[in-house]
Amino acid sequence: MTAEDPGYRVLEGAFTPAELATIAAALDGHLATRSRAGARHVLALPEIRALAGDPRLIDLAASFVGAAQPFRATLFDKSATANWLVAWHQDTALPMRAQVDAEGWGPWSTKAGILYAHAPASALAQVVALRVSLDPSTEANGPLRVLPGTHVDGRLADAAVERLARQVSLVNCTVDAGGVVAMRPLLLHASSKSTSDTRRRVLHIDYAAATCFGPGLDLAIG
């Protein structure tokens, strides 16, 4: 871990209630791929594409990976009726346009009709996730938890994850509606179940410094 890059950043007050209302309305009208826990691949919505390209988010993503462009957006919608626990993990799978045999890439799988590959650390270092809070994220409603600095050692084996979870002090990334949490995908993160009736919606937008990581290794955008 370095003081300069703990692997995450919390930015309060990035968006106004009026801006959030527009985004929430667009997501509420997007029923085709909704589940109780949220919705995948919502970057196709014009309102979400516009938000993802907002200079406030582009500049924040650029502070982590340089010139950045959005390639995926996911809605997480946690509530008393859709409540779940997420154990400590890294986000290592990227959506890809085609499967190729390349060192460090794989295993491959398909989710919601999209091809995914677990990517090497060199590719994941060029990615950052920006999590826009549509509702307040509090200590009680299952906020994002991070282990600062745990992104620096690349993809971690299960034993290393368990060891770091014991050794590193966790941080609860609480933030008001309109705030943004930026997070590197290799940063160990988790979330507890909500103990509140308060809804917590988060729009998770992934950005990359490049959309091609080598011959045939092109990100699927959408």
Which amino acid would we find at residue 189? H
Per-residue pLDDT tens listing for the chain (222 residues)? 344 789 999 999 999 999 999 999 998 876 555 555 678 889 989 999 999 999 999 999 999 999 999 999 999 987 767 666 789 999 999 999 999 999 999 999 998 789 999 999 999 999 999 999 999 999 988 899 999 999 999 999 999 999 999 999 999 999 999 999 999 999 999 998 887 878 889 999 999 999 999 999 999 998
SS3 content of the chain, % helix, strand, coil (to 5): 20, 30, 45
Q: What is the pLDDT of residue 195?
A: 79
Query: What is the reported pLDDT for 34?
Result: 57
Question: DSSP code of 177?
Answer: T
Which tokens sit at 133?
A: 């809070």
Q: Under CATH, to which class is 8-208 assigned?
A: mainly beta
Sorted by where each begins, the domain ranges of the chain are: 8-208
Strand partners, 197: none
End-to-end CA distance of the chain: 33
Task: List Cα–Cα distances, 56 to 62, 179, 191, 203, in angstroms.
Answer: 10, 11, 26, 15
Q: CA-CA distances (angstroms) from residue 208 to 61, 136, 203, 204?
A: 8, 27, 17, 13
Concatenated DSSP letters of 30-69:
--TTEETTEES-GGGSHHHHHHHT-HHHHHHHHHHHSS-E
Closest CA to 217 of 127, 123, 125, 154: 123
Q: CA-to-CA distance for 175 and 80, rounded, in angstroms?
A: 19
- Tokens at 86, concatenated: 């997420």
